[in-house]
Amino acid sequence: KNQVEQSPQSLIILEGKNCTLQCNYTVSPFSNLRWYKQDTGRGPVSLTIMTFSENTKSNGRYTATLDADTKQSSLHITASQLSDSASYICVVTPLSGGSYIPTFGRGTSLIVHP
């Protein structure tokens, strides 16, 4: 069964600090891995997308890394801002069986305090 596990479940940091969120997956083979940001009560917004052959992808203060050998990805947030408070979801799209339905992690809830 395809699974995506994220850690930590929740994280509290001070404004201006950096943080790293983790994602472990069993989906294989996969087409792409995406990190989404979801504000409370809103739909997820894509931050980064990486294919299986990419190791890193940046979007402003967000940098995602991918290690396809260990099936791990991380999302690093630099110089956090209050607006970074949200849930961050790791999503993996499979590449087999005619099913391209993405598999979602449960998300990491990030709270940035002033």
Partner 1 sequence: DAGVTQSPTHLIKTRGQQVTLRCSPKSGHDTVSWYQQALGQGPQFIFQYYEEEERQRGNFPDRFSGHQFPNYSSELNVNALLLGDSALYLCASSVMADPANYGYTFGSGTRLTVV
Contacting positions for partner 1 (CB under 8 A): 4, 31-32, 34, 36, 41-46, 49, 51, 89, 93, 95, 99-102, 104-107, 109
Residues in the chain: 114
What the block records as the tokens of 23 is 């994602």
CB of 52 to partner 1, least distance (A): 10
CB of 4 to partner 1, least distance (A): 8
Side-chain-facing half-sphere of 39: CA atoms under 13 Å: 5
What the block records as the tokens of 5 is 């596990």
Report the residue number, 31 or 74, with the smaller CB distance to partner 1: 31
CB of 79 to partner 1, least distance (A): 27
Residue 107 φ then ψ, to 5°? 95, 155
